[in-house]
Amino acid sequence: MPCTSTTSGRSGDVNLKLPDVLTELGISRSAFYRLRARGQAPRCIKLPNGQIRIRRSDLDSWFNACEELAA
Q: What is the pLDDT of residue 1?
A: 35
| pLDDT (tens digit per residue) in 12-66 | 689 999 999 999 999 999 999 999 999 999 999 999 999 999 999 999 999 999 8
pLDDT band at 3 (very low <50, low <70, confident <90, very high): very low
| pLDDT (tens digit per residue) in 36-45 | 999 999 999 9
pTM higher than the cut 0.85: no
Burial of 14 (0-12, 13-18, 19+ CB in 10 A): middle
